[in-house]
Structure 1
Amino acid sequence: MNIDTIRTATDFVKIRFKEAQPDTAIIFGSGLKDAGSIFEELSAMNYSEIPGLGEASVAG
């Protein structure tokens, strides 16, 4: 991964959530996605949607 990939990914997320003013972001890893059900989900994005990051390599 290089700085251009990071910038592209960052810009994509900023544009996708341009109206957001988050206090907290939670990233759930493999096996923890169901833990999110205790929170009110306002926005979500799959890792694979972010340019340059590809698919997650672990199921879960």
Structure 2
Amino acid sequence: MNKQRAIEITESPDLVHVTYNGQRVYIQHVNEDNNTARVYPLDDPQNEFDVDLDQLKET
């Protein structure tokens, strides 16, 4: 996923379907300096982690 699209998703009031390794995640924050995003699985909001933006897919 490109950086601009990830930022748009975080600013959107709608829940956009995004996956990481086949698992649906919510993008909490985009770190523009190192092209990563802070995400958590929709079914486990306490499990936050950072991923490279190129590992995220919009479905």
Taking structure 2 as the reference length, what is the TM-score of the superposition? 0.24
**Normalized per residue, which structure has more strand?**
2
Larger Rg: 1 or 2?
1
**Normalized per residue, which structure has more helix?**
1
The one of the two structures with greater contact order (alpha-carbon pairs below 8 A, sep at least 6) is 1
